[in-house]
Every structure is written in C-alpha cells, then in structure tokens.
Amino acid sequence: MTRRSINWFKYTSPASFYPLAGKLIPWFAVATALLLAAGLFIGFFVAPTDFQQGDAYRIIYIHVPAAWMAMFLYLLMALYAGLGLAFNARLWSMMASAIASTGALFAFLSLWTGALWGKPMWGTWWVWDARLTSTLILFFLYLGFLSLQAMIEDPRRADRAGALLALVGAVNVPIIYFSVQWWNTLHQGASLRLGKSPSIAPVMLAALLIMIAACWMYSITVTLMRVRCIILERERNAPWVGELLREAK
C-alpha cells in the first residue's frame, strides 16, 4: 500500500505559486463578475425600499461588504506577514504586501460610503465616535504599512518592518468590531451577527451576503494579480523567471 504524501510546502515557493495563481485568476474573476451582477440586481431591483431610510439604505450593499473586507483583509495581511516573519518565507510576506493596497481601498470605501450614508441619515458626513475613528485608524494603518514598505529598499527588511506594524495594528480590528457595543455611538448596531438571527428582511440579507461574497472574490482576484506582479519584480534575476518568459514566447 502506498501512501501518497502531499507536499504542503510545494506552493509556498514563488516559482511554483506563480503559475498556480495564474491559473486561478480567471475563475475568481468570473465568480466576481457573476456575484457582483447578481448582488447589484437583487439589491437594486428585487429588494424593496426601506420604510425608515428610503432608498438611501441601499448604500449598505456596498458599505457593509467594504467595511467587512477592510477588517478581514487586515487580519489576513497580519497573518501572512506574521507567518512570513516567523518562517522566513518570502511568498507569505509577498502575499501580505499584495493584500495591503486592496485592504486600503476597502477601508477608504467604507469611510466614503459611510459618509454618504451619514449625511442624509444623521445629518453629518463625519463624527468622531468610536466606530468611525477606529475605522479611520485602520485606513491609516494600511497607508502606514504601504509607505513603510515603499521606504525600505531591501525587500526582506521591508517585509520584516511591515510585519511588525501589521501585527501591532491588528489590535485595532477587534476594537472596530466591538466599538458599537463598548461605547455609546451614533453608528447603528450590527445587522448581521454570528449566532443570532439577522435583523433585516431575507431578500435584503440575500443581496448583502452576495455582495460580501462578490467582494471576497474581487479581493482574491486582485491579490493574486498583485502577488504575481510582486513575484515578477522581486525575482526577476531568478533563473525560473527567465525560463518562464522563454516558454511564453
């Protein structure tokens, strides 16, 4: 009897991950397009108008996914950065760098769409309350990570410095998540909570969940695209990159 052993570390080298990521990108891109189309269709054409907030409530279909992605991606970035630091693995550090820009994008979008929702609903674009302030800090943490890495020339040193910042900043994520419970805040409580029945209508919930799935697929697509760029740029002197290009010709 032969036991087939799986080499779990096979795809932790940039050389073998690069072609794998290339094969995965089209699938995630198609999933993004389909889910985005379905989520927007249900969100705008099937879901009814909210009796309290009118049509302005539809902003949640982009606001909530953006806010969730900003938090999830930060934790994922910190995890990859930490693993890259602990195991001295280039690919995991590259993944952390690849996630950062997209995380920053979603953090910005959650602030932007939140302001556009706040103006008609609260009468103000911005308040310095716990939820909003901690989300702004999250955005700055992403920007800090990106600029720190951009400043340091040696990529491995940049990885290590970025990892420290990412790990320390991870404390902020639970603060954002629980801020609506810990402090008195203008921000409404969570519509979705694990282990509790949601406080919104099923069709609205469906649209929201599909939009969250779409944002996940989008994040995976662009992260894989970016990590391939990072691999190409960093490993350009490695023999496998030369061979890859010769094969492509």
Partner 1 sequence: MNWERFFNMGGYAFYVWGSFGVALLLMAAEVFLLRRRRRRALARQSNEAQQIDVWQEHETTT
Q: Which residues bind partner 1 (CB under 8 A)?
A: 40, 44, 49, 54-56, 58-59, 62-63, 66, 101-102, 105, 108-109, 112-113, 116-117, 119-120, 218, 222, 225-226, 228-229, 232-233, 236, 241-242, 245
Least Å from the CB of residue 139 to partner 1? 13
Task: Give the three-state DSSP class for 6.
Answer: coil
Token couple for 69 = 């992605």
With a CB cutoff of 8 Å and minimum separation 6, the contacts of 22 are 228
- Pick 31 or 225: Cβ nearer partner 1: 225
- Pick 56 or 175: Cβ nearer partner 1: 56
With a CB cutoff of 8 Å and minimum separation 6, the contacts of 39 are 61, 207, 210, 211, 213, 214
CA atoms within a 13 Å half-sphere pointing along the CA-CB vector of 143? 8
Least Å from the CB of residue 112 to partner 1? 6
Hey, how many other C-beta atoms are within 10 angstroms of the C-beta on 199?
A: 12
Least Å from the CB of residue 203 to partner 1? 17
Q: Are 38 and 210 in contact (CB under 8 A)?
A: yes
With a CB cutoff of 8 Å and minimum separation 6, the contacts of 242 are none
CA atoms within a 13 Å half-sphere pointing along the CA-CB vector of 43? 23
- Pick 193 or 236: Cβ nearer partner 1: 236
Least Å from the CB of residue 87 to partner 1? 26
Least Å from the CB of residue 55 to partner 1? 4
Q: Are 118 and 124 in contact (CB under 8 A)?
A: yes
- Pick 108 or 178: Cβ nearer partner 1: 108
- Pick 10 or 119: Cβ nearer partner 1: 119
